[in-house]
Structure 1
Amino acid sequence: MSTPLASRAQRLRLPLLTQKGLEVPPPTEKDWSKDEERHYVFKDPDQQRHSLPQPYRMINKLVDLVFDRSWEIIEERDRLREAKLSQIQPTVYPPVSQSKLGSVPNCMAISQDYVFIGGAKGFSIYNLYNTKRMCVWDKLKVGVTSIWTADLGNDILIAPVDEMGIIRLFYIYKDSLFFVKTVNDVDDTNKPTPCVKMEISQGGDFAAFLLQGAGDTWLDVYRLPKESWLKEVEHPQVTTNPKKKVRQPQLNTLEPTSPDNSEMDLSIGLKGEVKLSPPIPIVKIKPPKPITGTTFKSPLEVFAKIEGCFGLGSGQNHFIKDSQWEQQAATFHAKYQKFLDGGSEEELVSMATFHFLLPSCVIMMPAELKGPSGIPCVLGVHWTGHHNFFFYSLNRTQRDKVEPESVWPCAAPIALSQLSDCGSYLVLACEDGVLTLWDLAKGSLLGVVALPEGCFCQSIHFLKHFLVHGGRNVYPEGPVESQVTCVVLCTDGSLHLVASSGAQEPATHTLIDRPAKHPDEAVCAVAPVPPLPGMVLVFSKNGSVHLLDVARPQMVCAFAPLRPFHLEAPWRPVFVVSAHHPYFLLRGDRPNQTEATHEAKDIPKSVFYFHFTAYPLLEDIIRNSSVPQADQPDTVALPQALPLEERCESFLRKRSQKLEHQAKEQEHWTRLRRYSLLLQRENLKK
């Protein structure tokens, strides 16, 4: 029995099944309903949630965004974990010893067999080998932010700078500490002159201090009377006046509550009030003055007043009128006005970088002013935002007129400069990323190197010239000339190797690329390791310390402090590498406060000692770090020296040609002056 609904369905299907010859026409666009087309929308099933009302639609989008980002981070971590597992991890070496300190060390320095550590109340002196504290100076209870040392042979010069920028000079001789002088101490505390940078020449003959005060900046250069100090400490003349209170800093007695009293061995002490000769000021150098217009009215007057042609073209001796400067400034502002709008016109603080240079072919000093060999004779200076590198003679007195003996102009402002330890090579880095390498001993240009686009120099580190012989890095025996190798750290965290050999064009290689996705892996500091040929310590922001072989390049090993100390990120490492011993020291940071707050307070501050010879891999490198000159490869063999007669003849010939050229220049200049004077007289007659 059929239902009414079933019978109705049968009636609808019957015409289609029973009627023959009836054809259903295919649908066309003309038959589409316009109303249905207007309201019909193809909907994505995944986008159905967009029809949710507010604020649920916004909450749903935020949840999806957090989920997508979390999933990307998880995938990136898995990828890095797999990459690390597939790579060969370098061996991590622990420190060989540890010095526990009562306060956080701010700075460290190594000279001879002593370690100097500056802290919150003064500085301490430790033994490099047994880590025992030998002396402490905390009389004035001032924090030491930086400390400089100079090896004077049998004695040591110490120059700590406190948190107020005050410099004090100390002298160590035969286990005795002597106070020399406070360099920039002023009577009026409202007018301080803090020191922002300092430099001591190799050998301790000169010292330079960059001081600031009352909105001004200047450079004070002193001659250090180390010969007088030696006589005064060998034959001391102790002067005591009970009525006069002496303000001379002294050593304090160590308190029994000191955290490292168990390892205390006081072998250095202040023995009496011995007065030493103060440093002798020789020159005060101020930043270059802004370029202004000349008062000369005509070129004839210029040629008549100038005595010589030396210095022209350096940017210092120019003869341009004020109207010309004004026209040039107006043209510049009119052309680049859209780029200048909104820019800050704040004047940069004048900062200087300076180096003590040895006698060389760069500056020919008079014979009567030449001193013993190995003593600097010139101070090289460049200022922030300036194109010129100035040379000032050190053989002068404070009454002499402060004028540079020579000027090197550069195409762009000099951003950084670095002098090699031997004093023979100089690198000038400009703000446009161009490096200029100079051989000061020969007075010749080694080459010009352009860093990759977007890389700007942050620091330069010279490496002692090494060779790759038998699959290992070695130092060649004998003298090496015109061989420069340096590592350049850029502001983007990349590391580059620059090498120049003789007349060959300098080559640049990228050691570590800029980290694109993980900024915490960027390199923040680099330090050469002289006992290991071609090796540098690389400090990253994430707290890792690696030893890098620049010849391959590859990571040789890693170093890490003892637990619970670690190196937090972002990290500002405090370390020091010995130039003559296979040691480097590293400050250990406290654990995170979130991990163990009560335990972190009880953990003392520490400095960790890493001894390269204590690790088998590095001990083998140090043992085989040199190769005889007979075994050196022919491709890097040193140029054979000419006989003495030929060398003397070549030197005299070059010197004669130079003198003839200078005489011709002076003759032309004298003739030009006479002609200008003659023309001036004729103009006056008219």
Structure 2
Amino acid sequence: MCSTNHYPSPDSEMVGAGKTETTRKQTPTLELSSAAQLPESSNCLSCSEDGRYLSMGHSRGLSVWCATSFVCVAEWLQDSLEIMCIQIIRMAETVYLLGTVDDMGVARIFEFHSEAVHLLTVVNHMENVNKRRICLALELSEGGDYGAAAMSCKGDVWLEVYHLPLEAWLKELKRTQSQDPSEHVDAEWSHFSVVLKIRPAGTTLHEPLKDMKTTDFFTHCCSLDVESSSSCQRLCTHHFLLPCGQLPGDSKKKFQPAGLPVAVCVWWSGSHNLLQYSLHKVPKNKPADVEPMPDVILPNAKEILCSAVSRCTQYIVVGLEGAMVYVWDRQSGSPLSVVLVSAADSAFLRVQLVDYWPESADDLQMFTAKVQLLVLCKSGVIYSVTTGRGTQSCTMQLTERSKDSKDLPTVITSVPFLHSLSLMVQRNGKMFLQDVINQTTVCYLTPPASHLFTTPCKPVYALSAKQKTLLIQGDQDPNCSALSEGGNQSQLFIFQFGEIDITKKYIVPLPDPPQQQTVCCVNLEESCNLYLEQRAQSVDERNKAVTQTWTQLQETAVTLQQQDGSATAS
């Protein structure tokens, strides 16, 4: 159980219109529930969505732990190999996939089952050191059907999307388990297939920009991106997208499994456009050097700085240059809302959706849909934004500009099992839960007096929604004279939020995982009709919002005129 202490919280951590007497009261401090010894030089941590297992990457490979007993159940070790990034997902009832990237940029995919880890494939073999492909990031889609890797080679960058042979791997796993262990025969695993190889806009366009046909909307938007970003290093951000009512250009394919990704959304640094590529339209025997064309393009007024996708992937949120936020609705193919967050603050660093458990996809009243966001600026200012179709957007400032670089937030993430609460970590090592609706600090989280949270600038942590638990790495405080029994070895600190009275009122029930049911995919005409119907149903709400906006503009104009008159008279 977590114990509580109290100390006064500084006013500077909660400012703005929402500051109340509550923020000046003492804020509880929650100590950890338990701790476990970690392998030496642990670099990364991931928790499976079902809450059963933890995967850890360290200086000699990886290990899989039970998420309840915190006992290591399986390892894959190799000398001089340091795993820097790791992800664990469930691909079958008792079978899990692990995706890793090591310190040399080599990506691997493993299979975990029955307390054994098998190496399935090395994504980017290093056969020729002069032409080696460096993996910058690897992500496996939920369920393991697809993977995506950002690659780099001699200054060129691109995104590769893979279809993973899950059925074949399960059969090969079963065949491997039926073999005599004394034979020591190395299993041969099926290889994945590359379904998309996406490069930054313009890298494969051979025509001069002036000769491009501006009547071609896709080509025109891509050419603008080439002109605006030709001098910068192109980096890729992508999101897997689930079925969402329509598959543009694919009206013949009427049904798709609900939990299976149907598209990938991509944007490149320096770009104004979100590009959506279908995962079910890739022709067979397609030449590898042919540039795939996007099925959907979502243009934005300014350069994209950050993005996020809702859990159901219906909403795509992008933070733009000039402090603007666009919320795109994939169901209608149009913006749900456009919000100017602040005209005076620094550029956006990150955008985060607060609601991880949106309403059911069967709810057709999307004209009243609302989304809540957290926006983090480079200055350290954090905003809460509530917006939606037919409603007036509301923006609240949660924190003020950081006066000291040590106060800058490094982590801001919604806690999926605690309603309206977000976990925040600062460079100075402070960690706390923030109520983004009421603008209050709910509690601080602290390690034992003899320890510090590891690298607050990039903490190693994971949230388990099933266990309602935060797991974070901590190290011995070098300034502490009393050493623990484990010496300087890292510890895994566990905070059980479900056992704490102060957070019980925020706990929300978790929805059932998405079932592999069929979802109807309408064509473009039906999608347009649905959008027009929503617009007609929301006319009263939108008229009310317009009236309120004009009233505010008139009041602002009168205030400015009065100020000008006073300045002239003086």
How high is the TM-score relative to the length of structure 2?
0.76
Paired amino acid for 1:316: C
Tell me what 1:544 maps to: 430
Deviations 1:568-611 (A, max 9, x none): 7864322111233301111113212x554988993321110111
Tell me what 1:489 maps to: 376
2:559 matched to 1:619? no
Paired amino acid for 2:276: F
The CA distance in 1 between the partners of 2:338 and 2:450, in whole Å, is 47
Please tell me whether the aligned partners of residues 75 and 117 of structure 2 are also in contact (alpha carbons under 8 angstroms): no
The CA distance in 1 between the partners of 2:32 and 2:110, in whole Å, is 31
Tell me what 2:536 maps to: none
Counterpart secondary structure, 1:455: coil
Mapping of 1:345-494 within 5 angstroms?
347-360=231-244, 363-369=247-253, 372-374=256-258, 375-395=260-280, 396-397=282-283, 399=286, 401=290, 402-452=292-342, 453-464=344-355, 479=363, 481=366, 482-494=369-381
For residues 615 and 657 of structure 1, do their structure 2 counterparts lie closer, same or farther at Cα, with a shift above 3 Å needed?
A: closer
Deviations 1:654-682 (A, max 9, x none): 28999xxxxxxxxxxxxxxxxxxxxxxxx
Tell me what 1:182 maps to: 122
Please tell me whether the aligned partners of residues 239 and 264 of structure 2 are also in contact (alpha carbons under 8 angstroms): yes
Structure 2: state its 5+ residue gaps: 1-9, 13-20, 512-521, 534-570
The CA distance in 2 between the partners of 1:200 and 1:281, in whole Å, is 14
Counterpart secondary structure, 1:512: coil
Deviations 1:373-408 (A, max 9, x none): 322222211111122221222121461642222322
Paired amino acid for 1:103: E
Please tell me whether the aligned partners of residues 462 and 486 of structure 1 are also in contact (alpha carbons under 8 angstroms): yes
Paired amino acid for 2:500: Y
2:164 matched to 1:273? no
Paired amino acid for 1:215: G
Tell me what 1:11 maps to: none
Please tell me whether the aligned partners of residues 306 and 318 of structure 2 are also in contact (alpha carbons under 8 angstroms): yes
For residues 433 and 89 of structure 1, do their structure 2 counterparts lie closer, same or farther at Cα, with a shift above 3 Å needed?
A: same
Paired amino acid for 2:460: V
The CA distance in 1 between the partners of 2:89 and 2:221, in whole Å, is 36
Cα displacement (A) at 1:170: 0.7
Tell me what 1:173 maps to: 113
2:120 matched to 1:229? no
Mapping of 1:293-304 within 5 angstroms?
293=208
For residues 408 and 496 of structure 1, do their structure 2 counterparts lie closer, same or farther at Cα, with a shift above 3 Å needed?
A: same
Please tell me whether the aligned partners of residues 161 and 194 of structure 2 are also in contact (alpha carbons under 8 angstroms): yes
Paired amino acid for 2:40: S
Counterpart secondary structure, 1:621: coil
Paired amino acid for 2:400: D
Cα displacement (A) at 1:158: 0.5
2:119 matched to 1:213? no
Q: Which stretch has the larger CA shift, 98-107 or 596-605?
A: 596-605
Deviations 1:171-206 (A, max 9, x none): 123444222100011212343311112222222211
The CA distance in 2 between the partners of 1:501 and 1:434, in whole Å, is 15
Deviations 1:80-108 (A, max 9, x none): 9xxx9x94222111211211124132111
2:387 to 471, 483, 500: 500
The CA distance in 1 between the partners of 2:45 and 2:230, in whole Å, is 35
Counterpart secondary structure, 1:617: helix
Please tell me whether the aligned partners of residues 332 and 531 of structure 2 are also in contact (alpha carbons under 8 angstroms): no
Mapping of 1:558-597 within 5 angstroms?
558-567=444-453, 571-592=457-478, 594-596=479-481
Please tell me whether the aligned partners of residues 466 and 534 of structure 1 are also in contact (alpha carbons under 8 angstroms): no
1:146 to 81, 85, 91: 85
1:92 to 1, 19, 29: 29
For residues 236 and 136 of structure 1, do their structure 2 counterparts lie closer, same or farther at Cα, with a shift above 3 Å needed?
A: closer
Tell me what 1:156 maps to: 96
The CA distance in 1 between the partners of 2:476 and 2:440, in whole Å, is 30
Q: Greater share of strand residues, 1 or 2?
A: 2
Please tell me whether the aligned partners of residues 98 and 607 of structure 1 are also in contact (alpha carbons under 8 angstroms): yes
Counterpart secondary structure, 1:613: helix
Please tell me whether the aligned partners of residues 207 and 222 of structure 1 are also in contact (alpha carbons under 8 angstroms): yes
Cα displacement (A) at 1:213: 1.0
For residues 599 and 435 of structure 1, do their structure 2 counterparts lie closer, same or farther at Cα, with a shift above 3 Å needed?
A: same
For residues 539 and 174 of structure 1, do their structure 2 counterparts lie closer, same or farther at Cα, with a shift above 3 Å needed?
A: same
Cα displacement (A) at 1:295: 7.7
Tell me what 2:140 maps to: 200
Deviations 1:36-95 (A, max 9, x none): xxxxxxxxxxxxxxxxxxxxxxxxxxxxxxxxxxxxxxxxxx999xxx9x9422211121
Counterpart secondary structure, 1:566: strand
For residues 295 and 416 of structure 1, do their structure 2 counterparts lie closer, same or farther at Cα, with a shift above 3 Å needed?
A: closer
The CA distance in 2 between the partners of 1:427 and 1:116, in whole Å, is 29
Deviations 1:295-336 (A, max 9, x none): 86xx9xx7xxx9xx6626842379x9xxxx9xxx9xxxxxxx
Paired amino acid for 1:127: C
The CA distance in 1 between the partners of 2:485 and 2:382, in whole Å, is 35
Please tell me whether the aligned partners of residues 311 and 407 of structure 1 are also in contact (alpha carbons under 8 angstroms): no
For residues 410 and 619 of structure 1, do their structure 2 counterparts lie closer, same or farther at Cα, with a shift above 3 Å needed?
A: closer
Tell me what 2:58 maps to: 119
Cα displacement (A) at 1:540: 1.4
For residues 489 and 317 of structure 1, do their structure 2 counterparts lie closer, same or farther at Cα, with a shift above 3 Å needed?
A: closer
Cα displacement (A) at 1:416: 1.4
The CA distance in 1 between the partners of 2:347 and 2:370, in whole Å, is 24
For residues 486 and 220 of structure 1, do their structure 2 counterparts lie closer, same or farther at Cα, with a shift above 3 Å needed?
A: same
Cα displacement (A) at 1:620: 4.3
Please tell me whether the aligned partners of residues 93 and 560 of structure 1 are also in contact (alpha carbons under 8 angstroms): yes
Structure 1: state its 5+ residue gaps: 1-77, 244-270, 330-344, 468-474, 628-646, 659-686
1:129 to 68, 83, 91: 68
Please tell me whether the aligned partners of residues 447 and 505 of structure 1 are also in contact (alpha carbons under 8 angstroms): no
Paired amino acid for 1:203: G
Please tell me whether the aligned partners of residues 384 and 436 of structure 2 are also in contact (alpha carbons under 8 angstroms): yes
Please tell me whether the aligned partners of residues 591 and 600 of structure 1 are also in contact (alpha carbons under 8 angstroms): no
2:538 matched to 1:654? no
Give aligned-pair identity as a percent: 23
For residues 272 and 156 of structure 1, do their structure 2 counterparts lie closer, same or farther at Cα, with a shift above 3 Å needed?
A: farther
Tell me what 1:52 maps to: none
Cα displacement (A) at 1:542: 1.4
Cα displacement (A) at 1:147: 0.6
Tell me what 2:564 maps to: none
Q: What is the CA RMSD across the aligned residues, in angstroms?
A: 4.0
For residues 347 and 234 of structure 1, do their structure 2 counterparts lie closer, same or farther at Cα, with a shift above 3 Å needed?
A: same
The CA distance in 1 between the partners of 2:446 and 2:77, in whole Å, is 31
Paired amino acid for 2:46: A
Please tell me whether the aligned partners of residues 205 and 223 of structure 1 are also in contact (alpha carbons under 8 angstroms): yes
The CA distance in 2 between the partners of 1:272 and 1:192, in whole Å, is 30
How high is the TM-score relative to the length of structure 1?
0.64
For residues 409 and 554 of structure 1, do their structure 2 counterparts lie closer, same or farther at Cα, with a shift above 3 Å needed?
A: same
Tell me what 1:609 maps to: 494
Please tell me whether the aligned partners of residues 465 and 485 of structure 1 are also in contact (alpha carbons under 8 angstroms): no
Please tell me whether the aligned partners of residues 37 and 492 of structure 2 are also in contact (alpha carbons under 8 angstroms): yes
Aligned pairs, how many? 490
Cα displacement (A) at 1:465: 7.0
Deviations 1:130-149 (A, max 9, x none): 11111122124311111122
Q: Flag the structure with more relative contact order, 1 or 2, with Cα contacts below 8 A and sequence separation at least 6.
A: 2
Q: Greater share of helix residues, 1 or 2?
A: 1
